[in-house]
Amino acid sequence: MNKVKLVRKILVYAIYVVFLVCFQVSFPDKISFDAQIADIMFVFVSLVAYYYGLWDGIIVGLVVGILRDCFAAPAILSFNGDIATSVGIGSLSMFLVAVFSASVFTVKMHRKFSFALITVATCSVIYKILGHGAIKLWTTVFSSASYSLSFKQVVVDSILVQVLLNLICAIPLILLLRFAGPYSGGVNPALSKNDTGGNQSWLTV
């Protein structure tokens, strides 16, 4: 990759990251429904890793994760019952999302639109299940508090709503990455060479 293309890629990623992080932090009410907020940062990292590969996903994921920890770190109950801000969860989560998204439904599926949505949905379900599990473990074992969410609240009101919101956000983000993304033509040349059968048009919408 020459310097012009590298600079273009960095600038495009930087613009998207800053805009999406600022939008999610500043206007969460605009992208929320039934007490759940669409996780634009999460979806963006998942799509970048899915379409452009592991290293792009990891780098963008760590940057987004650090910003997530700075501006939107989840609050947890400390051992003495006080509310404390967690640090590092955002970075770890975005890293794992990038690794998963870059490894599933990719080369053999030609990184198509439909499987991009499946990847986002799968990541969202796993993330929410692990999140609820971690909260239940922490509140009942480490902080001696009660976990009062019912099965319906967890599955229907939390997981399903979150998945739907993330999928709605994924559609315009996929189009942006395809037609105004970090790579000319929406294709990472390093990945297209390794695609099944040498197909150079694996990124389809």
- Render pLDDT for 158-182 as a digit per residue (tens, 0 to 9): 899 999 999 999 999 999 998 999 9
Instruction: Flag whether 67 is in a domain.
Output: yes
Instruction: Flag whether 13 is in a domain.
Output: yes
Residue 151 belongs to what domain range? Answer: 3-18+37-196
- Render pLDDT for 109-161 as a digit per residue (tens, 0 to 9): 567 888 899 999 999 999 999 988 887 777 776 666 666 777 788 888 889 99
The CATH number assigned to the domain holding 102 equals 1.10.1760
Instruction: Flag whether 23 is in a domain.
Output: no
pLDDT given for residue 197 in this prediction: 43
Q: Assess contact for 38 and 23: CB atoms under 8 A.
A: no
